[in-house]
Amino acid sequence: MKQALRPLLVIFIALTVVTGLAYPAVITLIGQTAFPHQANGSLLERDGQIVGSALIGQQFDAPQYFWGRLSATSPMPYNAQGSGGANVGPLNPALAQAVKGRIAALAAAGTDMSQPVPVDLVTASASGLDPALSPAAAAYQVARVARSRGMTEAAVRALVQRATSPRQFGVLGEPTVNVLRLNLALDAAAGGGT
């Protein structure tokens, strides 16, 4: 029995050291050396204060800000501990109600509703944490944001253009606009924020 247990114990200890200590230490060292911003949460600052992460959406509902995708997390929007979608299908009345509510909120905030609303402005992402919008969804809000801030539409469009990230490696995914970064750029252009 001792002869059978000894190799098992040695393998157990060796695997624990390799997978529980050495591997995490090497990956942490690589991450902190090669990608320190990403490894530490891609945190964004304004005036020396951390205001959020570029990887997790935030709730914006004031007319002078660009609004991101809806969040289906609970108990509060964009809760990273409760990541997950609403899991409502296209025939579910709850989805139709959520879309109607978001359209009404966009209209009440002064958004020009004469064009079809981009789908990412009225639906939640699968994670409920999506920090980005499509360029079309950002462009849809330009007039409202410019009017609310007393800026020209051209100036706001230029900020959207600067905040637009292309496809990764030129082929993967779609172009996106990080909402928090864009709103921070708006505040900086206006000389502060609320």
Q: Is the per-residue pLDDT at 27 higher than 90?
A: yes
- Please give the share of the chain, as a percent, with pLDDT higher than 70: 97
For residue 192, what pLDDT is reported? 54
Mean pLDDT in residue range 7-32: 95
**Range with lowest mean pLDDT among 67-81, 157-171, 175-189:** 67-81
Q: Give the residue from 183, 141, 148 showing the smallest Cα distance to 46.
A: 183
For residue 137, what pLDDT is reported? 95
For residue 81, what pLDDT is reported? 81
- Please give the share of the chain, as a percent, with pLDDT higher than 90: 55
For residue 112, what pLDDT is reported? 86
Alpha-carbon distance of 72 to 85, in angstroms, equals 5
Residue pointed to by tokens 């004469």: 114
Predicted TM-score (pTM) above 0.85: no
